[in-house]
Structure 1
Amino acid sequence: MSFITNLWKQPKITRPVRSLRPKKNAITDDYVLSKTVLGVGVNGKVLACTSKKTGEKHALKVLRDVPKARREVDLHWRACVSDYIVDIVDVYENSFGGQKCLLVVMECMEGGELFTRIQEHSEHPFTEREAASVARQICAALSHLHHLNLAHRDLKPENLLYKSKARDSVLKLTDFGFAKEVTSKMQTPCYTPYYVAPEVLGPEKYDKSCDMWSLGVILYILLCGYPPFYSASGAAISPGMKRRIRLGQYTYPDAEWKSVSSEVKQMISGLLRTDPAERLSMEQVLCHAWITGQGVVHPQEPLMSARVLAEESHMWEETQEEMAHALATMRVDTDKVTRVKEMDTIANPMLERRRKKQNVDAKTPAGSVGSPV
């Protein structure tokens, strides 16, 4: 219980809060740069680099120096005083080919993405107790951001990274390309399709509760291995998928959910309420029995999620590629709104099997929580 107790304390401050002042000297004075791509964020690629002074490996994010990138780096810098946010080590202002760039040196998260990690450990049963531990760390990061009055707006598994390969490694949140300080209601449609809250899809304004919806989607996938909402055609997003999101149409199929405690299903249903005013708040989630460890958790019963994620890993990779293409069309300026470009449909066997399975389950009476309305 000590971890749970420490989780609710104020985030640990690792450096004094101060304004971001990028260094002007060449980054190559201090780091050896590599062409190895570690990942791709909303605004740029993440490469590997090594400190000349310490020999320590770091991650380097290269951004075109524009106001939007400045905001991203500033918000990430302000947020990374938490143990559950990927740390920024250095920031440089350099020019390449006549173009001004921001070079952001971050701690290297060598443990990989959340779902990739679960896939890799599919031979070891992933239990609900472990899922609850993961959820606590995500909540710690999100709670810290909301405490700073920041909305992340792109909470998804690809942005949740493990520090190391160790089984008990800490999980941290990264990529602040869509993040925003919430001084008033927001209206810009920044999102990744699977995890988008219904209010973000429409013309209405929204607030930090959009992150709570995304948390609900992640927990759903964490516990069963597939998303509650997806495009049946295999496209990144479709009119039918948007409609199901806006109506909150999803189920808990018995095959994957029968061994999962009812408490976490109730919590997820509370997070996936289409009306933001009725959705669980961060404070309510932090006090929820499943999160605090005071409720019923099935510690030994293996979840289906690890097996489903491992079996369909290549399908997840294809889907992530489609998401990346869609995401590129969703970068919007503060004063401009760009419509999401419709993607060419692709065959996606994972989603097709899930769709057929749900159709079969829908015809079979089962004690399902949160059935489609």
Structure 2
Amino acid sequence: MKVLEPRCGKSPPSDLLRMRIHSRILKSLPNTRPPETLFYYCRIHLHTPAIQRTAQMLQDSAKARREVELHWRASPCTHIVKIIDVYENLYQSRKCLLIIMECMDGGELFSRIQDRGDQAFTEREASDIMKSIGEAIQYLHSINIAHRDVKPENLLYTSKRPNAVLKLTDFGFAKETTSHNSLATPCYTPYYVAPEVLGPEKYDKSCDMWSLGVIMYILLCGYPPFYSNHGLAISPGMKKRIRLGQYEFPNPEWSDVSDEVKQLIRNLLKTEPTQRMSITEFMNHPWIMQSMQVPPTPLHTSRVLKEEKDLWEDVKEEMTSALATMRVDYEQIKIKKIEDSCNPLLQKRRKKISPDVATH
């Protein structure tokens, strides 16, 4: 990272904390992150008015550096927002990281569909979009990174043009899936540990696959799978339905969608993480691999999204909540030694064998 001269102030000046390059702040962007971690988020002119970038300022911490490092490693992918440069500096007497990224002027994925008016959204378009998102996830998983926060607001277009590229952003919850800590040591009891603890790599990656299933479902009908039918107000039983995998494919929205596509969604929304299909299996599915051969069947998506636009923020909020419950911070999990365990069955077993041990 580049180390810059300290500079403090209430807001970044026009030279963006002495980057020593010509830049001009155009406007501040919405902040969806906690204020204690994100200081500033804006769009800027870089070098010339023809070049625009997004500037994000994070409070310097181990977590922030991990986020930036993983995002930087993923930047070569066509469908991931590219980091241009990263700077270290001081802001309001606190160390910070200034991240310069490519500017995504096309808006969010579903906002783009909502705003298309009377133009029908087709199954072929849905397939092409899922292929783009899948390529981003495939790249991440190939370099042992799980994004763990794939949701509508993190899928942005480069511009408002028809040929704009869809890209994944926000690596705040991303995680390396290569385990550095072996659980095979004899003084522990890994065979009693849940599979997701023993295999965090597959568990973390499966979170991304569940997200693909939800996004694909919405693309094909206009409302999410685990909420009230047809995008009505979220019911109290929503979380229970997510946990139990209870969802349907109601008509008329699903009447023209093939059973093959519905089965693909089922394979992504398995309640057991280890049973969900992998990204390789997803990308090899004919509906994804041969997207240009998918029929251009008109869908109800744009109509439903437009009619239920007022509820869309609730939908995004609940998907964020659902993803949060799936994420497990494995660094906080400690496996007890056998002698420290308070398991009732183990205690009973100890009492049973202790007299025999004493006689020897």
TM exceeding 0.5:
yes
> 2:145 matched to 1:154?
no
2:281 is equivalent to residue 284 of structure 1: yes
State whether structure 2 residue 97 is matched by structure 1 residue 102: yes
8 A contact 2:209–2:268 mirrored in 1? yes
Which among 171, 177, 181 is matched to residue 182 of structure 1?
177
* Match among 99, 106, 110 for residue 115 of structure 1: 110
Map of 1:36 onto structure 2: 28
C-alpha distance in structure 2 between counterparts of 1:183 and 1:143, whole Å: 16
| TM-score under structure 1 length normalisation | 0.72
Residue 319 of structure 1: how far off its partner (Å): 4.6
1:307 aligned partner: 303
| Counterpart-to-counterpart distance in 1, 2:145 and 2:322 | 24
Stretch deviating more after TM superposition (144-153 or 167-176): 167-176
- Report deviation, 1:294: 7.0
Letter in 2 for 1:266: Q
Structure 1 position 261, deviation (Å): 2.1
In 2, the alpha carbon distance for the partners of 1:330 and 1:208 equals 11
CA contact (8 A) 1:90 1:104 kept: yes
Contact (CA 8 Å) 2:207, 2:323: kept in 1 or not? Answer: no
Task: Report the 3-state secondary structure (helix = DSSP H, G, I; strand = E; otherwise coil) of the residue aligned with 2:156.
Answer: strand
* Alpha-carbon RMSD: 3.4
Deviation at 1:297, TM superposition (A): 3.0
Amino acid at match of 2:121: F
1:203 CA drift (Å): 12
Say if 1:331 and 1:218 are closer, same or farther in 2 by CA, change over 3 A: closer
The residue aligned with 1:212 is 209
Q: Deviations over 1:42-96 (max 9, x none)?
A: 7535311121356511111121111111110010000011111101112111211
Q: 1:269 to 1:27 in 2, by over 3 A?
A: farther
Q: 1:56 is paired with a residue of what secondary structure?
A: strand
- Report the Cα distance in structure 2 between the residues aligned to 1:320 and 1:202, rounded to whole angstroms: 28
Q: CA offsets per residue over residues 11-67 of structure 1, 9 Å max, x none?
A: xxxxxxxxxx23425345323234421553575353111213565111111211111
1 CA distance for matches of 2:227 and 2:260?
A: 24
Match of 2:63 among 61, 68, 73: 68
Secondary structure, counterpart of 2:127 in structure 1: helix
* Mapped contact 1:263–1:296 kept (Cα < 8 A): no
Q: Secondary structure, in 3 states, of the residue corresponding to 2:25? A: strand
C-alpha distance 243-225 of structure 1, shift in aligned 2 (>3 A): same
- The structural deviation recorded for 1:325 is 9.4
1:335–1:34 distance in 2 versus 1, CA, 3 Å: farther
Letter of the 1:313 partner, please give it: K
SS at match of 1:257: coil
Q: Shift of the alpha carbon at 1:127? A: 0.2
Deviation at 1:279, TM superposition (A): 1.2
Residue 136 in 1 paired to residue 128 in 2?
no
Greater CA radius of gyration, 1 or 2?
2
* 1:265 aligns to 2:245 (yes or no): no
Give distance in 1, aligned partners of 2:302 and 2:197: 34
Deviation digits for residues 168-204 of structure 1 (CA, Å, limit 9, x no counterpart)? 2111100000000012399xxxxxxxxxxxx999999
**Superimposed CA distance per residue, residues 212-268 of structure 1 (whole angstroms, 9 cap, x where no aligned partner):** 111001100111111111379957x96x32321221111001221001122211111
* Residues 289 and 295, structure 1, Cα contact 8 Å, conserved in 2: no
- For structure 2, which runs of at least 5 residues remain unmatched after alignment? 6-16, 182-193, 334-360
Q: From the superposition, tell whether residues 135 and 36 of structure 1 become closer, same or farther in structure 2 (CA, over 3 Å).
A: same
Q: Could you tell me which amino acid in structure 2 is paired with residue 32 of structure 1?
A: R
Partner of 2:350: none
Distance 1:297 1:262, change over 3 A: farther
1:167 equivalenced with 2:152 (yes/no): no
Change (3 A) 1:72 1:53: same
CA distance in 2, matches of 1:35, 1:155: 26
Distance in structure 2 (CA, Å) of the matches to 1:119 and 1:170? 17
Whole-Å Cα distance in 2 between the matches of residues 252 and 331 of structure 1?
27
Separation (CA, whole Å) in 2 of partners of 1:327 and 1:47: 27
1:111/1:161 contact within 8 Å kept: yes
Q: Which amino acid aligns with 1:115?
A: F
Identity %: 50
Separation in 1, partners of 2:180, 2:149: 17
Residues 93 and 162 from structure 1, CA distance in 2 versus in 1: closer, same or farther, beyond 3 angstroms?
Answer: same
**Change in CA separation of 1:200 and 1:258 when aligned onto 2, cut-off 3 Å:** farther
* Residue 249 (structure 1) aligned to one of 242, 246, 250: 246
Aligned partners of 2:26 and 2:254: how far apart in 1? 44
| 2-structure distance, mates of 1:52, 1:294 | 39
The SS at the match of 1:82 is coil
Contact 2:128 2:291 in 1 (8 A): no
Give the 3-state SS of the residue equivalent to 2:253 in structure 1: helix
